[in-house]
């Protein structure tokens, strides 16, 4: 097993990121009446037509551009993985399957759904957080 390292604690960066995510969720809900769930937005960008498709593509472009802007302002982004590419592909497929099965993702249920006190989102968030804790415990300790 590879060595596991911790990441530095950066509360201001986390606060700034959380505020920006919250702001995007609120703005999307207030302006278009839509929930900011990335998996649903991405799926709709491939299947919807007209204005529905355009706002979804604009949102996804904004997600990508935010990373580009971050790199531009900070001079780079260090990405460190501790799993092989094959495991990352498997994990991505499982996440994609889970978002379809659970009718949403962490942004849709965990951010937008919890803030609206949606019972379905509360159950979904507890489920995927529990699965994440269990998976991490198994991978790191067993």
Q: Would you say residue 4 lies in a domain?
A: no
This prediction has a pTM of 0.74
pLDDT of residue 5: 62
Q: Would you say residue 5 lies in a domain?
A: no
Count how many domains the chain has: 1
Q: Which domain holds residue 133?
A: 11-141
Measure the CA–CA gap between 17 and 19, rounded to whole angstroms.
5
Sequence-separated (6 or more) residues with CB below 8 Å from residue 71: 77
Question: What's the pLDDT tens digit per position in 23-34?
Answer: 988 999 999 998
Confidence check: pLDDT of 2 > 60: no
**82 within 8 A of 4, measured Cβ to Cβ:** yes
Q: Would you say residue 53 lies in a domain?
A: yes
Confidence check: pLDDT of 135 > 80: yes
Q: Would you say residue 136 lies in a domain?
A: yes
Of 65, 70, 46, the C-alpha closest to 56 is 46
Structure tokens at 2: 């590879």
Q: Would you say residue 124 lies in a domain?
A: yes
Query: Confidence band (pLDDT; 50, 70, 90) for 76?
Result: confident
Question: What's the pLDDT tens digit per position in 13-56?
Answer: 889 888 988 898 899 999 999 888 888 898 899 999 999 999 99
């Amino acid at each position: 097993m590879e060595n596991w390292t911790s990441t530095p604690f950066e509360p201001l960066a986390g606060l700034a990121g959380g505020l920006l995510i919250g702001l995007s969720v609120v703005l999307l809900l207030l302006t278009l009446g839509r929930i900011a769930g990335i998996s649903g937005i991405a799926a709709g960008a491939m299947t919807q037509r007209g204005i529905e498709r355009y706002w979804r593509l604009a949102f996804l472009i904004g997600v990508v551009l935010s990373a580009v802007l971050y790199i531009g302002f900070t001079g780079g982004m260090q990405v460190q993985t501790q799993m092989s590419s094959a495991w990352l592909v498997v994990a991505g497929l499982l996440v994609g399957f889970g978002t379809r099965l659970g009718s949403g993702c962490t942004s849709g249920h965990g951010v937008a759904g919890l803030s609206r006190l949606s019972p379905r989102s509360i159950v979904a968030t507890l489920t995927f957080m529990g699965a994440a804790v269990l998976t991490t415990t198994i991978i790191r300790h067993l």
